[in-house]
Structure 1
Amino acid sequence: MANEMELTGRCMCGAVKIVATARKPTVAACHCNMCRQWSSGPFMGVNCQNAAFEGEESIGRTRSSDWAERGFCTKCGSNLFYHIIDSKDYQIAAGLFDDQSKLRMSLQVFTDSKPKFYEFSNETKMMTGAEVAASFGPSPK
């Protein structure tokens, strides 16, 4: 794929190293309540495939819902990723990557949950919580 790129990065202390492939060098900002509690602001992640983690023994995982988990470094506390359990894709924290120069914010989700005390000036696609659920949520049975 033309926009595909390999990204490398690490947590703040270096105990966890990441090599992953991003289909596009884009960042999504999530404004949901859980992400803001987890990161004290929007979680900014890059959708990555083929994520390989060195230092797996330093990765703590917590189930944040029935379908997803969040990863963090147990040594320094860096937020590492948001991961849908039944998926190979990871939303890896954008700030971990060594080279962020080609990354561009393209999407904001849960915009109806965003507090009024901050605003991004980037022109992005904007999705409410209901729009996210309709687009990415589990299919009705």
Structure 2
Amino acid sequence: MIQGQCLCGAVRFRTEAEPQGASACHCGQCRRMSGHVWASAYVPKDALTVEGEVRWFDSSDKAQRGFCPDCGSFLFWQAHDEDTISFALGALDAPTGLRLTKHIFTADKGDYYDIAEGVPQR
């Protein structure tokens, strides 16, 4: 079982599904929302159990982002037209057993860092 929570513990989530697509997103929205890079993996939406209130923000016409209304932790990303949900790897209880499989939106990355860990970049 994979489980995690926000910084204050008001929102908790868990899944028994095998997380897929562990990635680090370098897009401008993820950088602004997280303060740097947002790492996530996804599972089918119906395989994720969430306890506590999540506030959703429509960050574009294609997706929404979920966060804790108490501490502000950015926990979830979900495309409007998909049946999967991504969750923040940084919010997971350790050990996770997960490894990044890719970096995405690298053309949008900040100019203040380099990506140099040998993981594929898109």
2:2 corresponds to 1:22: no
The residue number in structure 2 matching 1:81 is: 76
TM-score, with length taken from structure 2 = 0.88
User: Paired residue for 2:92, among 63, 81, 97?
Assistant: 97
What is the match of residue 51 of structure 1? 48
The aligned counterpart of 1:41 is 36
Match of 1:109 among 85, 100, 104: 104
The structure 1 segments of at least 4 consecutive aligned residues displaced by more than 6 Å after TM superposition are none
Question: Does the 8 Å CA contact 1:105/1:122 hold for their aligned counterparts?
Answer: no
1:31 aligns with 2:22: no
Q: Indicate if the aligned counterparts of 1:80 and 1:96 stay in contact, CA closer than 8 A.
A: yes
Change (3 A) 1:79 1:19: same
Aligned to 1:130: none
Does the aligned pair in 2 maintain the 1:94–1:100 contact within 8 Å?
no
Question: Number of residue pairs matched?
Answer: 119
Report the counterpart of residue 136 of structure 1 in structure 2: none
- Give, in whole Å, the separation in 1 of the partners of 2:99 and 2:13: 20
Q: Secondary structure at the match of 1:125?
A: coil
Question: What SS does the aligned partner of 1:36 have?
Answer: helix
Identity across matched positions, percent: 32
Q: Which has the larger radius of gyration?
A: 1
Match of 1:8 in 2: 3
Aligned alpha-carbon RMSD (Å): 1.5
Shift of the alpha carbon at 1:36?
Answer: 0.8
| TM-score (structure 1 length as normaliser) | 0.77
In structure 1, the partner of 2:117 is 122
CA distance in 2, matches of 1:22, 1:81: 17
